[in-house]
Amino acid sequence: MDLEIVEGLVPSVLATLNGSESIYGEAGIMLYKEPPVGVGRKTVKSAGLLAGMERVSVGGMPFFLTEFTGPGHVAFSRDGVGEIRILEIPAGQEIDIMEGSLLCASNSIGYAMEYVKGTHRPGRIVGFWLDRLSGPGKVAIHGYGNIISMTLAPKETITTDLGALLYKDAGVQAKTANLPFGSGLLGKFESFEVLELTGPGQVALQSIDPKQPHY
């Protein structure tokens, strides 16, 4: 299987599937495919019924994934300005991807879900979901805006906007927190929710929050 980035203002990724190779992604992000490429449903077995329903009803994420089987070509696009990264994940390694960022993954990639609790403040009361992918195999990820990568040392922490996270090593801890907007009681009252990421491990950020309106 080969993944090729098609550059542009709104980039896409082209997958070349040989023989019976297969790839999966979320429903609704296929750009086009050749007629020989088969389409089927991939059940998220590790989610469980209750977790899956919660992700659909609260998180707005699909309960099922779509699987494409070769031979042939199939292209995917997130219909947004940004960059695409193709990652080769070795066996035994896991990464967490922000919801709504996965383009496609080879069928050898294991799929599960992780939930990050919110701070119960308006706007992010219910937290958010991460796609947890495990190797071996290839993964294509769409980052909105520009992608900024860094490596965190053990116990090193950075504070980011909630929409800035694109993906991280599974070993990097993610926790929401309230950041005071100034000092005193008023500062605490006007605090806003942020995400604290603590190493060790690699982190990639995106410069545009895909959930915020842009004009």
Q: Any idea which of 38-47, 52-61, 111-120 has the lowest mean pLDDT?
A: 52-61
More confident residue, 59 or 165: 165
Tell me what pLDDT residue 74 has. Answer: 97
The correct answer on CATH 3.40.718.10 for the domain covering 2-206 is no
Question: Mean pLDDT over residues 3-21, rounded?
Answer: 94
Q: Please, which residues have CB within 8 angstroms of residue 168's CB and are 6 or more apart in sequence?
A: 95, 96, 174, 197, 201, 202, 203, 204
pTM above 0.75, yes or no: yes
Tell me what pLDDT residue 215 has. Answer: 42
Distances (CA, A) of 136 to 23, 60, 94, 154: 13, 28, 9, 25
Q: Per-residue pLDDT tens for 121-134?
A: 655 556 788 999 99
Q: Please, which residues have CB within 8 angstroms of residue 214's CB and are 6 or more apart in sequence?
A: 208
Check pLDDT > 50 for residue 115.
Answer: yes
Q: Per-residue pLDDT tens for 149-188?
A: 999 999 999 999 888 999 999 999 999 988 777 666 655 5
